Amino acid sequence: MGRLLAVSLARRGHAVHVLDAAADPQLAGGAARVAAAMLAPLAESAVTEPNVVAMGRYALPRWRTLCSELAAPVFFQQNGTLILWHRQDAREAIRFEALLRATVQRVPDLPAPHRVDADGLATVEPAVAGRFAHALFLPEEGQLDNRALLQALLATLQALGVPLHWGVAATLQTARAWQRDHPGGWVLDCRGLGARADWPEAVQPAPGPLRGVRGEVVRLYAPDVTLQRPTRLLHPRYPIYIAPKPDHHFVIGATEIESDDRSAASVRSTLELLSAAYAVHPGFAEARILELNTECRPTLPDNLPAIVERAPRLLQINGLYRHGFLIAPALCDAVLEYVADGSTTLAQRLGLTFQTAANCTSLTSVTSVP
């Protein structure tokens, strides 16, 4: 979120400085570096609200434009999402399809899901033909390569001459002190969980507190697997996703644990992810495990994103939860609109919480990050 805003603002002629707590640029990014970066508003509607779906729908064409403008290439795909299930999970598939069709009724510009039989699967996704009798195909959904994107944004910032300050753990108080020395300057706080102490429950009307939600992700190299699009396997306990990246790399995940524990992945979660992947395609049996990652998503109580102007020209952008890549362009454009003319029209249209300084508690009551 921070890099995307920095590139956008620098291109509009603003003098931008980027401060990042990470000392190593190659490892910076936190949850954004670990994520699968699927752009699937309809698929995600089963676990989120219509406003997030609307933000995701808005963001899809924006991602295509944003990626094309960067200083390095970024894998971007819009081949749809495939939903699979085993025969014993047919009831779960009925429930899931009903949720999707209800979403299409509420967000009319979303393409409706298509039912696919065994013969249709041979055309849509030959890699799974013969192993599943039914599927749902969600057209126009997409994905991108999150790590390539982070690198391309960094390269673009460097090409634009934006100063990058690594290993700087800024607080709202230090940011406010900078503002006093630079009248008219803006501070955009995109620290994720690094801003947790600045989202206490007592600070109202800002939506707090901020918490971490743990996820576990496997990255594989599977030269025998040729999935052409993000694929999800329905299961009542652990529905998984498989996101194919360039060069036969795959990101597999599902777990969502209410914890800010960043310790190594558990045996149980790893076995479930790998077993489910093998059930989708036997070629995963000979895959090589490149990484087992855990990270925590920054999440607000309602699991929805929010932009809060904690003090004049000091915006906090947070709570993107599991939808960061899905909705980031929508939040970026809402911030750009507010910086340009003080308007929150886009945020209102998309149902994005955007609290301006006139309605927020003063910065003086906010505790700084240690």
What CATH number does residue 170 fall under? 3.50.50.60
Strand order in the sheet with 81-84: 114-117, 134-138, 81-84, 231-233, 240-245, 249-253, 211-221, 288-299
Q: At which of 274, 299, 324 does a domain end? A: 299
User: Do 328 and 196 share a structural domain?
Assistant: yes
The Cα 188–Cα 174 span in angstroms is: 13
Does 76 map to a domain?
Answer: no
Does 52 map to a domain?
Answer: no
Does 351 map to a domain?
Answer: yes
User: Would the pTM of this model clear 0.85, i.e. be above it?
Assistant: yes
The Cα 283–Cα 280 span in angstroms is: 9
Does 50 map to a domain?
Answer: no
The amino acid present at 326, given as its one-letter code, is: L
DSSP classification of residue 257: B
The Cα 170–Cα 153 span in angstroms is: 21
Structure tokens at 134: 């039914």
Question: How high is the pLDDT of residue 109?
Answer: 87
User: Do 191 and 227 share a structural domain?
Assistant: no
Query: How distant, in Å, are the alpha carbons of 4, 62, 219 from that of 361?
Result: 27, 33, 43
Does 63 map to a domain?
Answer: no
User: Do 199 and 238 share a structural domain?
Assistant: no
Does 338 map to a domain?
Answer: yes
Does 58 map to a domain?
Answer: no
Query: How distant, in Å, are the alpha carbons of 73, 145, 174, 279, 292 from that of 260?
Result: 33, 25, 26, 30, 17
User: Do 254 and 122 share a structural domain?
Assistant: yes
User: Do 249 and 279 share a structural domain?
Assistant: yes
* DSSP letter string, 24-76: -GGGTTTHHHHS--EE-HHHHTTSS-HHHHHHHHHHHHHHHHHHHTSSS---E
Angle at 323 between CA 318 and CA 325, to 5 degrees: 90
Q: At which of 280, 299, 318 does a domain end? A: 299
Residue 292's DSSP bridge partners are 218
Relative to beta strand 314-318, strand 306-311 is antiparallel
**pLDDT digit string (tens) for the chain, length 370 residues:** 999 999 999 999 999 999 999 988 877 778 899 999 999 999 999 889 999 999 999 999 999 999 999 999 999 999 999 999 999 999 999 999 999 999 999 988 899 999 999 999 999 999 999 999 999 999 999 999 999 999 999 999 999 999 999 999 889 888 889 999 988 899 999 999 999 988 876 455 556 689 999 999 999 999 999 999 999 999 877 789 999 999 999 999 986 788 888 899 889 889 999 999 999 999 999 999 999 999 999 999 999 999 999 999 999 999 999 999 999 999 999 999 999 999 999 999 999 999 998 765 433 323 222 2
User: Do 317 and 346 share a structural domain?
Assistant: yes
Alpha carbon of residue 231 to chain centroid: 17
Does 288 map to a domain?
Answer: yes
Determine the length of the chain. 370
User: Do 243 and 270 share a structural domain?
Assistant: yes
User: Do 295 and 216 share a structural domain?
Assistant: yes
**Helix or strand holding residue 253 (H, E):** strand 249-253
Phi, psi of 136 (to 5 degrees): -115, 135
Residue 109 sits in which domain range?
81-139+212-299
User: Do 186 and 129 share a structural domain?
Assistant: no
Question: How high is the pLDDT of residue 362?
Answer: 39
The Cα 334–Cα 317 span in angstroms is: 11
Q: At which of 278, 299, 320 does a domain end? A: 299
User: Do 198 and 92 share a structural domain?
Assistant: no
Q: Maximum Cα–Cα distance for the chain, whole Å?
A: 67
What CATH number does residue 218 fall under? 3.30.9.10
**Helix or strand holding residue 242 (H, E):** strand 240-245
Residue 152's DSSP bridge partners are none
CB 109, CB 184: distance < 8 Å: no
User: Do 222 and 115 share a structural domain?
Assistant: yes
Total domains in the fold of the chain: 2
Q: Count of CB atoms within 10 A of residue 12's CB?
A: 11
Q: Count of CB atoms within 10 A of residue 252's CB?
A: 25
User: Do 358 and 310 share a structural domain?
Assistant: yes
